[in-house]
């Protein structure tokens, strides 16, 4: 997929799946979820400042592409140290870089700042490989934006796996994110 040939996402275009449709899908799958509204959040730091005592693991999500054009969704605890120049070896990809906002819109149907595993609901073509941090999956509850960054939805880790599989993806659970800080690190 050549980013140059992709149009910029219209900031006013409706999402392919609304947060309400996503929550209805979770309900149809028998997956309980609790959603909390808040001002739009764009960074982990903003999230930490506004979330209060919201329980569970708080996460960050990286939408990446490798040099062969494969898309990756890497999901980890918010404070995980992720070195892109090491992550490729841990997950078996070619060299990784961040995917463009155009790719994000055309592949996952969301805008920057709203990346989460819930966006897999829009990946009908199964273009994305999903990688979940092992340490994150050890939390009972996990928190993600439900397609928009003005709310947070808590879901049990085993239900996250059920949801991802119901979207037609088999996630890899990988032990990464504890490396010491260094070049190419994406800090929370």
135-166 pLDDT, tens per residue? 999 999 999 999 998 999 999 999 999 999 99
R_g of the chain, CA atoms, integer Å = 16
Least reliable range by pLDDT among 17-26, 67-76, 174-183? 174-183
Q: What is the dihedral of CA 175, 138, 44, 120, to 10 degrees?
A: 80
Residue 142 lies in a domain: yes
CB burial readout 89-122, b (16+ within 10 A) else e: ebbebeebeebbbbbbbbbbbbbebbbbbbbbbb
**pTM higher than 0.85 for the full model?**
yes
* Residue range of the domain that includes 55: 15-179
Residue 77 lies in a domain: yes
pLDDT, one tens digit per residue, over 38-78 is: 777 666 676 666 666 678 999 999 999 999 999 999 999 99
- CATH (domain of 92): 3.90.960.10
3-state secondary structure at position 165: helix
Tally of domains within the chain: 1
Residue 187 lies in a domain: no
């Amino acid at each position: 997929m050549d980013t140059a040939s992709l149009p910029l996402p219209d900031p006013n275009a409706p999402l392919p799946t609304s947060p309400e449709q996503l929550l209805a899908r979770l309900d149809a799958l028998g997956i309980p979820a609790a959603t909390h509204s808040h001002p739009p959040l764009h960074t982990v730091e903003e999230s930490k400042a506004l979330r209060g005592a919201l329980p569970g693991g708080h996460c960050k999500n990286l939408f990446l592409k490798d040099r062969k054009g494969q898309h990756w969704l890497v999901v980890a605890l918010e404070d995980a140290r992720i070195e892109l120049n090491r992550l490729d070896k841990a997950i078996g990809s070619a060299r990784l870089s961040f995917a463009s906002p155009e790719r994000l819109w055309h592949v996952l149907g969301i805008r920057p700042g709203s990346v989460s595993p819930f966006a897999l609901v829009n990946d009908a073509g199964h273009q994305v490989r999903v990688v979940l941090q092992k340490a994150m999956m050890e939390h009972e509850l996990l928190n993600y934006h439900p397609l928009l960054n003005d709310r947070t939805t808590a879901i049990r880790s085993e239900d996250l796996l059920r949801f991802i599989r119901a979207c037609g993806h088999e996630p890899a659970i990988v032990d990464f994110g504890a490396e010491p800080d260094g070049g190419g690190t994406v800090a929370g």
